[in-house]
Amino acid sequence: MASEVEQKYLGMFAKQTAKDQPELSAALYKVLGLSTLLQRKLVRARKQRKLDPTRPTKSLDLYRHINWMGREGYAIIETIIPMVVNEVELRVLIFKLKASFLHVFALFEFSPRTKMSVLSTIQQQQQQNSNNTNQTLKDVNYIKPAMEAFRRAYELAKENVPGIHPLRLGVVLEYSAFMFDCIRDHEEARRMAKKGVEDALDVVTVLEDDEMFSDAQDLVGSLVVLAKRATPATPQLPQGPINGAGEKNRSLGDSPTQSGIGMGQHTEEVKRRRSKTTYDLNGNVLKTGK
């Protein structure tokens, strides 16, 4: 789901468009509110699964709330897409959030009865017989469209923003997490995360803004953790959306310290490269370091 960094961008874009595009601004504020509340519920759901994944107990009500909020957010995102055709960064963010909502459904929607009304824009396949499993319905309705949405968001990010941009890093991070937790392609997830780190380090000097640099640094650190994430020894239930637990995308399994990952050396490399020649986002030289 939307990380703190992405929520910050949502608020910024909503404020910027308030005067000239009030309808777009209002929709962005709604998505911001929903994503903030949804993130808290995702944290709770993840903790409950860790306690005992075999017992539904209160989890069912929580999952219903998550899916209701996800459905509302997804519907708003669909109305926003036609309004951001010419907005480069905002378009990247909106397509990423579309993929995020589908990621939530893939992880938390388990009720066959409610599936037919959750995503009206996705063509529903007819149920061949009453013995179809829950997993089959889940795969048909959410995995494929979620994969397509992540691919689209990833393509937009690669075409329009540099590798060190927080929005692009956010796309790579959740796309990698989706590949790991839902597709179960652990090697591809790690490869994608590693590639994201390399792309960021290659153009780290384009960032002039200290706040953007700090956000990018956190996201690079999270990608490093995911790139080193071990393949589960036995099949597990998904642990919830990867960037929906706590501070800026810090919910990638174990912490860097617990995993023995040298995240510090990667963030130091980001700082070192940034201290040299500085460019703007178009690649023009702004200043040369000592």
Instruction: Enter the tokens of residue 248.
Output: 């800026």
Tokens of 174: 């959740």
Question: Can you tell me the distance from the alpha carbon of 37 to that of 42, in angstroms, rounded to the nearest whole number?
Answer: 9
CB distance 196 to 222 below 8 Å: no
> Which positions of the chain have pLDDT values less than 70?
49-59, 109-141, 234-290
Say if CB 153 and CB 99 are below 8 A apart.
yes
Res 266: pLDDT: 56
Q: Is 118 helix (H, G, I), strand (E, B) or coil?
A: coil
Pairing of strands 278-279, 285-287: antiparallel
Give pLDDT, residue 208: 82
Q: Return the pLDDT at 206.
A: 82
Structure tokens, 70: 């996800």
Instruction: Give dist(CA 89, CA 30) in Å, integer.
Output: 19
d(CA 236, CA 239): 8
Instruction: Write down the pLDDT at residue 54.
Output: 57
Q: What is the rounded CA–CA span in Å between residue 176 and residue 171? A: 8
What the block records as the tokens of 136 is 């089959």
Rounded to 5 degrees, what are φ and ψ at 278?
-115, 135
The pLDDT of residue 274 is 55
Task: Say what the pTM is.
Answer: 0.72
**Residue from 76, 97, 100, 85 nearest 23 by CA:** 76
**Which residues partner with 264 through β-bridges?**
none
pLDDT at 49: 62
Token pair, residue 258, equals 């617990």
